[in-house]
Amino acid sequence: MSAPSEVRTAAPRGGRTRSKSWLATVPLLAFVVLIFGVPLVIILGGTFKREGAFSAANITESVQGAYLTAMIGSVKLSALVAVVGALLGTFLAQAVVTSRFRMLREAVLTASGVLSNFGGIPLAFAWIATLGNSGVITSALGLDSVGWSLYNFWGLALVYLYFSVPLMVVVVVPALDGLRPQWREAAQNNGANTWQYWRHVGIPVLTPTLLGGVVLLFGGAFAAYATAAAMVGGTVPLVTLQIANALSGNVLIGHENVALALSLDMIIVAGLVMAVYLPLQRRSARWLR
Amino acid sequence: MAALTPEGPMAPLTPPAMTVADGPTAPTGQGRRRRIRVWRGVILAIAAVYFLVPLLASFMFTVKAPEQDFSLDAYGQIFTTEGFGQSLLLSIGLGVATIVVVLLLTLPAMLAVRLSMPKLKPVLEVVCTLPLVVPPITFVAGINTVLQFGPDYLASTPFYQTIFAIQDENFPVVLVLAYVILALPFVYRALDAGLGAIDVRTLVEAARNLGASWPHLIFRVIVPNLRSSLASASFLTLALVLGEFTIASLLHFQTFPVWIYTISGSQAQVSVAVSVFSLLITWLLLLALSSAGARQRSGS
């Protein structure tokens, strides 16, 4: 019976189990490399290949003309949605957090969790039924006679906010909960008014969370495809729509790899944005514990 | 995309703090407090209008066409419209397969890393979070290229047939593979939170000392203790698969969301009715999830 002593000595560092246990991570890592890594490598390789030869033509084409317009359109839309969504989401979260009604808080938090996942095709159709050309509200208020249209840049922003604001609420409520009442009391005892408290205590503590939320919202709006495809088709220039277009074969012969170049552009933008997010999240965890 | 809520800062919070947040402001007087209450009311009212009107309007749209009376026909027609059952079953099947595969891949890996290779944890975390950085549309651009040109390169190898086999229209395995990647970040977060909440090492050592085999240990000790986070990972994955449009539509598979989009041209009312219906399904899934979480919390 040497088993117990063996386990005891093995416990702190794993010992004998370690030699075998790395095998358990192999399937996951192999899967990710094969299913996720290979397409990424193909994107990278295909971007720099035209008609069988190494070439930078795809990448230059992807940052010119209509493709450039689409990229700018996507970034503008995502930035607008991210900033407005973060502001509105924070105000809504603050209103809920400071409310005395527990039920209200629970209801808003649950609804936010659900609505932040509400995207894609159903979201587009819900808004088309509401404010589209023959939507319920459009006809009830006679908006079509004043030139209202949902199928443009601003309409998309309005619809994207529908999942962005709840996402911001979900992100920022824990941070608002983490603002300790003692900090406010301490500030007040030192003679600070509300504005000064927020200016010097509240906002600085919340900043990493708020910026992190902006980044998250940007990423969500930037990657969104289904909602835009169902709502505006091709009338609003967006990079996701251009990629889908190019993938469906709507490009010049021999220019098929432009879709891959556009994808690479998108990954670079999304990667830069995410690179900002991760350190921020670590910083926000420092105060709010 | 959306569910990437910050598990990080959420965990170490002190919940009791929030109810007191506006309590100690009393000294500054009644006027300020009333102003705050008015502002809060205005914000909540605007939010209520913005979030409720589209839901109500969609419902109105489905039950009352112009110059017609109230009727629930659109909801009845959902079930008789061609392709409904098939596409819904396909999406559910894909969801279940995705859940099984993603859990079989992540749970052993995460257990092993937690038990004996803590240094590898950041690596695993990055690997599982990476899919967030790559928008699904770019991912599908890569997959599409592999599927198109893969056969040329693999012509002489046994993998040649595989490329076609995974694109079977009745059950496109390629979608399961893609969805596992999309689900990884959410599943990782859910399981990581669950594993962090239990003392895995003690459980494992106790069970091993008592002579349990590894499979016995995993299914009789670890899985029951992780029930709620496994459920949350599964629900999130299912919700993701049931709503995923980008990859399925660009690879030309008729999943549920793709079907909704297809019928919208000819039957606007039915497509909105299905949208309302699918929102209800998501609501129920996530409500079940949050109430399961609450039960677990009160139970322990």
Would you kindly state where each structural domain of chain B is located, as residue ranges?
90-295
Tell me whether B26 touches chain A (CB under 8 Å): no
The per-residue pLDDT for A233 is: 79
Please name the residues in contact with A156: beta carbons below 8 A apart, sequence gap of 6 or more: A77, A227, A228, A231, A232, A236
Q: Is the pLDDT of residue A7 over 80?
A: no
DSSP annotation of B170: S
Segment B201-234, tens digit of pLDDT: 899 889 989 988 888 888 888 888 888 889 888 8
Instruction: Confirm if A179 and A255 have CB atoms less than 8 A apart.
Output: no
Return all residues near A65 (Cβ < 8 A) that are at least 6 apart.
Answer: none
Given an 8 Å threshold on Cβ–Cβ distance, is A38 in contact with B132?
Answer: no
For B256, the token pair is 């549920």
- The answer to whether residues A235 and A64 touch, using CB atoms and an 8 Å cutoff, is no
Residues of A in contact with B104 (CB under 8 A): 27
Chain B contact set for A247 (CB, 8 A)? 140-141, 144, 250
Of B286 and B106, the one with more pLDDT:
B106
B275 touches chain A (CB under 8 A): yes
Picking from A129, A163, A194, the nearest residue to B61 by CB comes out as A129
| Nearest alpha carbon to residue B120 among A135, A37, A29 | A29
Residue of A nearest to B237 (CA): A117
pLDDT: is A60 or A289 the higher one?
A60
What pLDDT sits at residue B298?
53
One-letter amino acid of A202: G
B248 vs A9, residue with greater confidence: B248
Taking each helix axis from N to C terminus, what angle separates A120-131 and B30-63, rounded to the nearest 10 degrees?
Answer: 90
Average pLDDT of span B116-137: 87
Instruction: Give the CA dihedral A7, A10, A14, A20, nearest 10 degrees.
Output: -70
| Nearest residue, CB atoms, B112 vs list A11, A24, A180 | A24
Per-residue confidence at B254, pLDDT binned at 50, 70, 90?
very high
Chain A touched by B160 (CB under 8 Å): no
pLDDT at site A19: 61
- Residue-wise pLDDT for B95-115, tens only, equals 999 999 999 999 989 998 988
For the stretch B179-205, pLDDT in tens is: 999 999 989 988 998 888 888 889 988
Which chain A residues are Cβ-neighbours of B245 within 8 angstroms?
A: 120-121, 225-226, 229
What sign for the dihedral angle of Cα A260, A262, A263, A269?
A: positive
Q: How many angstroms away from the CA of A150 is the closest CA of chain B?
A: 13
For CA atoms A191, A196, A202, A204, give the dihedral sign.
Answer: negative
> Given this model, what pLDDT does residue B271 score?
87
Locate the domains of chain A by residue range: 53-287
Residue linked to tokens 């596992």: B180
Specify the pLDDT at position A58: 85
Is residue A192 helix, strand or coil? coil
* Beta-carbon separation of B131 and A36 below 8 A: yes
Task: Please give the pLDDT value at position A59.
Answer: 87
Q: What is the pLDDT of residue A12?
A: 46
Q: Do A126 and B275 lie within an 8 Å CB cutoff?
A: yes
- Residue A35: its pLDDT value, please? 92
Chain A CB contacts of B243 below 8 Å: 117, 119-122
From residue A30, give the alpha-carbon distance in Å to each of A24, A35, A36, A191, B281: 11, 8, 10, 60, 34
Structure token digits, residue A232: 């505006």
Residue of chain A minimizing CA distance to B46: A92
Q: How confident is the model at residue B61 (pLDDT cuts 50, 70, 90)?
A: confident
Q: For residue B12, what pLDDT band results from cuts at 50, 70 and 90?
A: very low
In this prediction, residue B14 has a pLDDT band, given cuts at 50, 70 and 90, of: very low
- What CATH number should be reported for the domain whose range is B90-295? 1.10.3720.10
Contact A195, A274 (CB under 8 A): no
Q: Which residues contact A197 (CB under 8 A, 6 or more apart)?
A: A183, A184, A187, A188
Identify the weakest region by mean pLDDT among A107-121, A207-221, B186-200.
A107-121
Please count the residue pairs, one from chain A and one from chain B, whose beta carbons lie less than 8 angstroms apart.
Answer: 316
Is B6 in contact with A32 (Cβ distance < 8 A)?
no
Residues A154-169 have a mean pLDDT of: 92
The residue assigned the tokens 């992807």 is A62
- The predicted pLDDT at position A284 comes to 62
Of A162, A164, A115, A117, nearest in space to B240 by CA: A117
Q: What is the average per-residue pLDDT within B73-82? A: 82
Give the whole-angstrom CA distance, residue B76 versus residue A174: 42
**Which chain B positions have a beta carbon within 8 Å of A105's beta carbon?**
18
Three-state DSSP at B76 gives helix
Say whether residue B217 is in contact with chain A using an 8 A CB cutoff: no
- DSSP letters spanning A106-119: HHHHHHHHHHTT--
Least confident range of A197-206, A223-232, B18-27: B18-27
CATH class of A53-287: mainly alpha
Give the ipTM of the model, two decimals please.
Answer: 0.82
State residue A88's pLDDT score. 94
Predicted TM-score of the model (pTM)? 0.83
**A78-89 pLDDT, tens digit each:** 999 999 999 999
Q: Is the pLDDT confidence value at B141 over 60?
A: yes
From its phi and psi, is residue A191 left (phi > 0), alpha (psi between -120 and 50) or beta?
Answer: left
Contact A126 B120 (CB under 8 A): no
B51-71: average pLDDT: 82
* pLDDT for residue A281 is more than 70: no
pLDDT tens digits for range A230-258: 888 778 899 999 999 888 877 777 777 88
Average pLDDT in chain B: 81
**B12 vs A129, A212, A289: nearest CB:** A289
> For the residues B44-61, what does the mean pLDDT come to?
90
How large a percentage of chain A has pLDDT more than 70? Answer: 90
